[in-house]
Amino acid sequence: MRFGFFDDPNLEYVITRPDTPLPWINYMGMENYFGIISNTAGGYSFYKDARLRRLTRYRYNNAPLDEGGRYVYLRDNAAPLPAYWSASWQPVREALDAYECRHGLGYTTITAEKSGIRSRITYFIPLKDNLEIWRLEITNLRDVAADVSIFSAVEFCLWDAMDDATNFQRNLNIGEVEVEDGIIYHKTEYRERRNHFAYFACSEPLTGFDTSREAFLGPYRGWDKPLAVEHGQCGNSIAHGWQPVGVNHNRIVLSPGETRVVIYLLGYHENDENAKFDPKGSNTIDKTTVRPAIDRYRQPAVVEEAFNTLGSYWRELLSKFQVETPELHANRMVNIWNTYQIMVTYNFSRSASYFESGIGRGMGFRDSTQDLLGFVHLLPEKARMRLLDLAATQLPDGGAYHQYQPMTKLGNHDIGGNFSDDPLWLVLATAAYLKETGDWTILDESVPFDNKAGTEAPLFEHLRRSMQYTLDRIGPHGLPLIGRADWNDCLNLNSFSDTPGQSFQTVTAKDGKVAESVFVAALFILAAREMEQIASRLGKQADVEYYARYRAQFEDAIDTAGWDGAWFRRAYDDFGLPVGSFENEEGQIFIEPQGMCVMAGIGIEDGRAEKALDAVAEHLAFQHGIVLLYPAFKRYHLSMGEISSYPPGYKENGSVFCHSNPWIMIAETRIGRGDHALDYYLRINPSAREDLSDIHRCEPYVYAQTIGGKESATPGLAKNSWLTGTAAWNFVAITQWIMGIRPAYDGLIVNPVIPASWSGFKAVRYFRGTRYDIEVKREGPGNRVTLFVDGNKCEENMIPLPVDQPDMIMVNVVIG
Ligand code: BGC
Ligand code: NOJ
């Protein structure tokens, strides 16, 4: 069952009924001001940091779902009894005669019709300014005049979202607002330590306003039945403490057929510390620097231009890589939605979504480094900055803070470090950046450790220490020690947590000198290959040999201790016993080492790779994807940690943990099985699952982190959509390995491993300033590649870097 449809030419997903199984959300903002918005206008806004600078309130986990948003109430003033509804269905939930939500790239448009009044609101954030625009177009479809009241409403958050949700004894006292020239200003704490405030403005003269929530809603009423809307009149209330809101009331009369545009602006502004007040010495906000933006964006023509600029920005970004394959779901995801989701993960890492509160986690080290693999071709400049920011949170021993706050860019002490995989991703991300851009200067950038002045070292030295972090922590089987966790945050082999409420990731009961990770050994091998390549291009021969030596050592360790007979083992626990082995009762086979070991090239020559991937097909794959492990843990194992705390088939305990599925797709291409790779790709591709929307429940236009596994009570049910490494990795799997278009240090590789049924495909990809027009034709059933560059046959599968910089290169590929 579906709840909408894809409108590919307009780059939109169109939702045709408001009661989707979950709020289906979208993101707005690209620079500093951001917002999330659902298909019924729920969501919130923030400046830079969803925790520290939250502008509006949102109530997670509430009933009804999705409370708090950007609400517009419409009231028919001529109706005999009070008649009002929401232009986005929520929060009033009055049945509408027509409803449609279009989620586009960086904007959302919601159309509603009721009793001959049509509203269409487009919400978006212009590229450069710190505000969001709600452009309301209201039309009278009746053949008589319509007397309509419009109430637009937001509830302000008192900035720090954590404090806002917990510290009521203070917060109910501090709320402050100003209303001047019909503009509502939210200025809590501005009088003393803050120099920023929010505002809510409107292009039309106000009939009235409210800034006190209780005055607007009425005592003991909810957002679904505001008293002011029922009465058709605001009380011009001024909030003193309690809950400050911004409500504009506009009463308008529309003649038959008339359309009116009303613009609302919700914005954030900072004043200079010394120019906060006007007059000086008062407590009144100095508005001189904020008014120009407000006055400008109140003009419909300016709004239209900003909206068009946003559209061009996205079209331009998408144009960097466009494909045309026989598979609609691949085209749609690669060309539009997967790319878009990757940009969202770039902006938000794992901080703010419908499933991430914006409070709990900032920017993850391993998360952001992997996200970069997906967006580096789109915004190399931003990738460069991100790499340097991440490296600056690295510790001198090469380890890394697991997370940092986007506002301060400082490592998060609550969670700390010692996640064994974190530093290695920095190497892989930097390698991806080098291959994409050829910008070797980044390796000389001077970057501090732990953001401490005086500790600076070139980025290349950070990479070395990343590698050394693993080498300094090797366990009894010659494999890397697992630390608090490796990529799988829930495989906590040193935690032994038995106290409710403890964080499995931060509690360590063991000395950590026994439990080891096969996965990290394979990850190290991948990273070592890149270090060898990088060092050899820098002429650092000793480094090349050093990493080659340890790479070989880990290859041996995996051979002797990592192979279980029919698949790769996952780890060794604190007792030195294998995890992910046929010897285990539960958790006999895990997905991660099958993917990562084959990606690292292990077992490809001797048939173990094929065996391992056959075992994946047999034990882990089912119709909704590939589960993380099998059999799932049915009871809690003190020595395994959080993984066995989840009910079977959920999250890390045997759901389809989508992030790890593309590793298997890539591994399948490594052994030449394009059919298998694409099959797995389609099982979790959200667009390909659109028909299952009633089962899948999450948005059909973006990947979710997890899909209920075969042992769960709800196989196929997705959760935790949007902010997941799944976005970047699926993009890498389909474009770089199945389609085989892969940047390398010295050129662009084209080495497709596509299904037998594909007759070929076309792609346009920009690479180091040149447009590559690639056309692949299948002439036989195999994967052998013959490559022609501008008509000339190439000896390898790689297009060497051109000597001059041509605008365009034509690439013809024959496979068979
Ligand atoms: C989740 C993991 C996540 C971790 C982050 C766990 O509860 O299951 O997916 O990585 O929390 O702290
Ligand atoms: C989600 C986390 O964000 C990511 O860092 C981790 O690798 C996966 N969960 C697996 O546990």
Catalytic choice (76, 489, 543, 574): 489
Instruction: Assess contact for 471 and 549: CB atoms under 8 A.
Output: no
68 lines ligand 2 (CB under 6 A): no
Ligand nearest to the CA of 653: 1
- Protein residue with least CA distance to atom 9, ligand 2: 489
Q: Are strands 25-28 and 33-38 parallel, antiparallel or unpaired?
A: antiparallel
543 lines ligand 2 (CB under 6 A): no
pLDDT for 414 equals: 85
Cα 727 to chain centroid distance, Å, stands at: 7
Q: What is the mean pLDDT of each run of 10 residues along the chain (816 residues)?
A: 98 98 98 97 96 96 96 96 96 98 99 98 97 98 98 98 97 98 98 96 98 98 98 98 98 98 98 96 97 98 98 98 98 98 94 93 92 98 97 96 87 90 98 98 98 97 98 98 98 97 93 98 98 98 98 98 98 98 98 98 98 99 98 98 98 98 99 98 98 98 98 98 98 98 98 98 98 98 96 94 94 97
Q: In 3-state terms, what secondary structure has residue 129?
A: coil
The ligand 1 atom at the shortest distance from the C-alpha of residue 705 is 9
Cα 376 to chain centroid distance, Å, stands at: 15
350 lines ligand 2 (CB under 6 A): yes
Residue the block writes with tokens 């806004």: 45
Ligand 1 center–CA 811 separation, angstroms: 43
Ligand 2 center–CA 431 separation, angstroms: 21
Contacts of 5 (CB under 8 A, 6+ apart): 13, 14, 16
Type of residue numbered 513: K
Ligand 2 center–CA 454 separation, angstroms: 33
Q: Residue-wise over 685-706: b if at least 16 C-beta within 10 A, else e?
A: bbbbbbebbebbbbbbbbbbbb
Q: Within 13 Å, how many C-alpha atoms sit on residue 798's CB side?
A: 11
- Protein residue with least CA distance to atom 4, ligand 2: 367
The ligand 2 atom at the shortest distance from the C-alpha of residue 350 is 3
Calpha distance 30→48 (Å, rounded)? 10
651 lines ligand 2 (CB under 6 A): no
Calpha distance 355→346 (Å, rounded)? 17
Torsion sign across C-alpha atoms 719, 723, 725, 726: positive
- The pTM (predicted TM-score) of the whole model is 0.97
Ligand nearest to the CA of 503: 1
Mutate to test the pocket of ligand 1, among 505, 656, 658, 723 (most ligand atoms within 8 A of CB): 505
- Protein residue with least CA distance to atom 9, ligand 1: 489
Ligand 1 center–CA 651 separation, angstroms: 9
Ligand 1 center–CA 503 separation, angstroms: 10
Ligand 1 first shell, C-beta below 6 A:
489-490, 505, 642, 651-652
Catalytic status, residue 489: yes
Cα–Cα separations (whole angstroms), residue 134 to 110, 152, 202? 11, 10, 9
Ligand nearest to the CA of 371: 2
Calpha distance 739→742 (Å, rounded)? 9
What is the tens place of the pLDDT at every residue in 711-760? 999 999 999 999 999 999 999 999 999 999 999 999 999 999 999 999 99
Ligand 2 center–CA 361 separation, angstroms: 11
573 lines ligand 2 (CB under 6 A): no
Cα–Cα separations (whole angstroms), residue 561 to 246, 516, 581, 635? 63, 10, 11, 27
Instruction: Assess contact for 209 and 248: CB atoms under 8 A.
Output: yes
Q: In the numeric block, which tokens belong to residue 719?
A: 């959760």
pLDDT for 407 equals: 81
Length of the chain (residues): 816
487 lines ligand 2 (CB under 6 A): yes
Point out which residues pair with 159 in neighbouring strands.
54
pLDDT for 111 equals: 98
367 lines ligand 2 (CB under 6 A): yes
pLDDT for 362 equals: 78
Type of residue numbered 216: F
Ligand 2 center–CA 531 separation, angstroms: 25
Ligand 1 center–CA 604 separation, angstroms: 32
The ligand 1 atom at the shortest distance from the C-alpha of residue 657 is 9
Cα-based angle 279, 285, 290 (whole degrees, multiple of 5): 115
- Protein residue with least CA distance to atom 3, ligand 1: 489
422 lines ligand 2 (CB under 6 A): no
Q: In 3-state terms, what secondary structure has residue 263?
A: strand
425 lines ligand 2 (CB under 6 A): no
421 lines ligand 2 (CB under 6 A): no
